[in-house]
Amino acid sequence: MRYPSLIRVFVTVQLLAGHATAAVYSNAATSVCCSLLAAALPNATFPRDMSNSSIYRIESTHFWSSTEWLDPTCVFLPTSTADVETGVAIFYHHDCPFSIRGGGHSAIRGAANIDDGILMSMRQIRDVTISEDRSSVVVGAGLTFGEIYSAVDREDLSIVGGRFGTVGTGLLLGAGFSYFNNRYGLAVDNVKRQVVVLANGTAVNASSMENTELHWALKGGGNNFGVVTHFDLFTIESTGVFGGRITYPESSLAALDEATYNYHTKVAVEDIDVHVLPTYVYDGVTNTTFGATPVVANANVTELPPSLSEWQQIEHSNYTLRNTRYGTLADELVAGFPNGLVQSHYTFTIYANKQFFSECLSLWRQFCQSFSYLDGFNGLHTVMPITQRAISEGIRRGGNPLGLERSVGTNQTLSVFYLGITFNKRADIEQVFPAWEIFIRTLQALAKERELLFPYIMLTYSDHNQQVLQSYGEQNVQRLQRVQRVYDPTLVFQRLVTGGQKLPL
Ligand X SMILES: Cc1cc2nc3c(=O)[nH]c(=O)nc-3n(C[C@H](O)[C@H](O)[C@H](O)COP(=O)(O)OP(=O)(O)OC[C@H]3O[C@@H](n4cnc5c(N)ncnc54)[C@H](O)[C@@H]3O)c2cc1C
Min dist. Cβ of residue 72 to ligand X (A): 13
Min dist. Cβ of residue 24 to ligand X (A): 23
| Residue whose CB is less far from ligand X, 173 or 268 | 173
**Measured between alpha carbons, how far is 126 from 143 in angstroms, rounded to an integer?**
5
| Residue whose CB is less far from ligand X, 222 or 278 | 222
| Residue whose CB is less far from ligand X, 110 or 473 | 110
- Written in H, E and C, the secondary structure of 43-62 is HHEEECCCCCCHHHHHHHHC
**Measured between alpha carbons, how far is 443 from 59 in angstroms, rounded to an integer?**
36
Min dist. Cβ of residue 145 to ligand X (A): 8
CB-nearest residue to ligand X: 102
Q: Which amino acid would we find at residue 290?
A: F
Q: What angle do CA 199, 203, 209 make, to 5 degrees?
A: 115
Min dist. Cβ of residue 400 to ligand X (A): 13
Q: Are the C-beta atoms of 278 and 262 separated by less than 8 Å?
A: no
Q: In this structure, how many other beta carbons lie within 10 angstroms of the beta carbon of residue 287?
A: 13
Min dist. Cβ of residue 106 to ligand X (A): 3
| Residue whose CB is less far from ligand X, 100 or 252 | 100
Helix, strand and coil content of the chain, in percent to the nearest 5, comes to 40, 25, 35
Q: Give me the residues that bind ligand X (CB under 6 A), please.
A: 64, 100-106, 111-112, 122, 141, 162-164, 167-171, 173-177, 222-223, 227-228, 334, 337, 460, 499-500
Closest by CA to 402, choosing from 350, 455, 462, is 455
**Measured between alpha carbons, how far is 186 from 390 in angstroms, rounded to an integer?**
7
**Measured between alpha carbons, how far is 75 from 450 in angstroms, rounded to an integer?**
48
| Residue whose CB is less far from ligand X, 107 or 157 | 107
| Residue whose CB is less far from ligand X, 29 or 108 | 108
| Residue whose CB is less far from ligand X, 90 or 100 | 100
Min dist. Cβ of residue 45 to ligand X (A): 19
| Residue whose CB is less far from ligand X, 227 or 361 | 227
Min dist. Cβ of residue 276 to ligand X (A): 13
Min dist. Cβ of residue 67 to ligand X (A): 11
Min dist. Cβ of residue 69 to ligand X (A): 13
| Residue whose CB is less far from ligand X, 60 or 252 | 60
Give Dmax (Cα) for the chain. 65
| Residue whose CB is less far from ligand X, 169 or 476 | 169
**Measured between alpha carbons, how far is 216 from 2 in angstroms, rounded to an integer?**
38
C-alpha distances in Å from residue 215, one per residue of 212, 362, 503: 5, 41, 16
Q: Phi/psi of residue 471, each to 5°?
A: -70, -10
- Written in H, E and C, the secondary structure of 278-291 is CEEEEECCCCEEEE
**Residue 261 forms beta bridges with which residues?**
none
Q: What angle do CA 401, 183, 348 make, to 5 degrees?
A: 45
**Measured between alpha carbons, how far is 446 from 440 in angstroms, rounded to an integer?**
10
Question: Helix (H, G, I), strand (E, B), or coil: what is residue 24?
Answer: strand
Min dist. Cβ of residue 5 to ligand X (A): 27
| Residue whose CB is less far from ligand X, 275 or 389 | 275
Helix (H) or strand (E) segment spanning residue 184? helix 181-184
Min dist. Cβ of residue 176 to ligand X (A): 5
Q: Phi/psi of residue 46, each to 5°?
A: -130, 95
